[in-house]
């Protein structure tokens, strides 16, 4: 049966790998945001050629499982690219997560940019503001308010996705669990511990998300 003493013993062992999860999340969030902003701006201005390219890219990223993307990249592309072959598994996971989540984030960001109505832009132009002034002072502040809650949701999803790293042998929470399992065969307690740790992290972020959503809705 469920052995509480073992559960309490294994919990810190597994939790000690949580830094991998955090590192991956932070790096992937940063680059996903970068990818997301670039794609969103291309979409906002409908830049020819690039726009069509990003539509296909986003569609593929959203329309295929991330595990398939990861294997395609790490095992598929590696056959033809020494650059990918030389990547550590951790970096490869970070790259795929950034590319994948960037596609999702671009949609949130593009929607937020489009949420600023034409009238306000005309008002800014009519007062003699330049495009840059309009973007920095009117569009971005309003777009952030709209984009923040969905982006935060994307980040929560990113955290769950970090467990993919395990599939390439990166010793994260799942990796630690596997090693423990091979030693003690107490999968029940071990994976309960894994789930508890993820759940606590996501739960706390969920609270932050709720707070942000409320704050953004009542800001002005």
Partner 1 sequence: MGTETQLVKIEHLYKEFDADTKVLADINLTINKNEVIAILGPSGTGKSTLLRCLNYLTVPTKGAITIGDVTVDAEHHTKRDVLELRKHTSMVFQGYNLFKNKTALENVMEAMTVVQKKSKDEARKTALELLDKVGMSERRDFYPSKLSGGQQQRVGIARALAVNPNVVLFDEPTSALDPELVGEVLNTIKSLAEDGTTMILVTHEIGFAREVATRILFMDGGRIAADGTPEEIIDHPENPRLKQFLNFVNRK
Residue 158 and residue 28: Cα distance in Å, rounded? 8
Quick check: 184 and 9 in contact, CB under 8 A?
no
As a whole number of angstroms, the distance between CA 177 and CA 179 comes to: 5
Residue pair 130/70 in contact by the 8 Å Cβ criterion: no
Span of 20-28, 63-71, 104-112, 118-126 interacting with partner 1 by CB under 8 A: 118-126
Q: Is 122 in the site for partner 1 (CB under 8 A)?
A: yes
Stretch of 70-78, 101-109, 122-130, 175-183 contacting partner 1, by CB under 8 A: 122-130
Q: Of 18-26, 124-132, 176-184, 186-194, which segment contacts partner 1 by CB under 8 A?
A: 124-132
The residue among 60 and 217 lying less far from partner 1, judged by its C-beta, is 217
Helix (H) or strand (E) holding 175: helix 173-184
CA distances, 24 to each of 89, 91, 96, 195, 211 (Å): 11, 9, 11, 18, 24
Report yes or no: 44 and 113 within 8 Å, Cβ to Cβ.
Answer: yes
The SS3 of residue 3 is coil
The answer to the question of residue 141 lying near partner 1 (CB under 8 A) is yes
Least distance from C-beta 219 to partner 1, angstroms? 8
Position 45 contacts partner 1 (CB under 8 A):
no
| Residue in 188, 159, 164 with CA at minimum distance from that of residue 66 | 164
Q: Does 145 bind partner 1 (CB under 8 A)?
A: yes
Tell me how far, at minimum, the Cβ of 56 lies from partner 1, in Å: 31
The CA distance from 121 to 198, in Å, is 43
Out of 127, 182, 185, 203, name the contact with partner 1 by CB under 8 A.
127
Q: Which of 125, 187, 188, 199 binds partner 1 (CB under 8 A)?
A: 125
- Measure the CA–CA gap between 17 and 140, rounded to whole angstroms: 37
Q: Per rule CB under 8 A, is residue 5 in the interface with partner 1?
A: no
Looking at 3, 68, 120, 183, which residue binds partner 1 (CB under 8 A)?
Answer: 120
79 binds partner 1 (CB under 8 A): no
Determine if 130 is a binding residue for partner 1 (CB under 8 A). Answer: yes
Applying CB under 8 A, does 216 fall inside the site for partner 1? no
98 touches 39 (CB < 8 A): no
Minimum distance from residue 197 beta carbon to partner 1 (Å): 39
User: How many Å apart are CA 4 and CA 2, to the nearest integer?
Assistant: 6
138 binds partner 1 (CB under 8 A): yes
Residues that bind partner 1 (CB under 8 A): 117, 119-120, 122-130, 133, 137-138, 141-142, 145, 220
């Amino acid at each position: 049966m469920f052995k509480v003493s073992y559960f309490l013993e294994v919990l810190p062992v597994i939790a000690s790998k949580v830094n991998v999860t955090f590192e991956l999340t932070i790096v992937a969030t940063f680059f996903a945001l970068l990818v997301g902003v670039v794609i969103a701006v291309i979409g906002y201005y409908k830049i020819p050629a690039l726009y069509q390219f990003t539509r296909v890219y986003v569609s593929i990223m959203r329309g295929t499982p991330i595990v398939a993307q990861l294997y395609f990249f790490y095992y598929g592309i590696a056959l033809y690219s020494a650059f990918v072959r030389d990547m550590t598994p951790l970096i490869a996971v970070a790259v795929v997560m950034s590319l994948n989540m960037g596609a999702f984030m671009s949609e949130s960001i593009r929607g937020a940019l489009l949420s600023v109505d034409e009238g306000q832009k005309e008002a800014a132009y009519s007062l003699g503001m330049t495009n840059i002034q309009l973007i920095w002072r009117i569009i971005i502040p309003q777009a952030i308010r709209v984009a923040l809650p969905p982006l935060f949701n994307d980040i929560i999803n990113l955290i769950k996705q970090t467990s993919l790293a395990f599939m390439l042998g990166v010793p994260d929470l799942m990796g630690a669990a596997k090693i423990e399992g091979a030693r003690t065969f107490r999968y029940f307690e071990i994976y309960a511990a894994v789930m508890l740790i993820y759940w606590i992290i996501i739960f706390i972020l969920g609270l932050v998300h709720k707070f942000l959503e409320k704050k953004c809705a009542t800001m002005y």
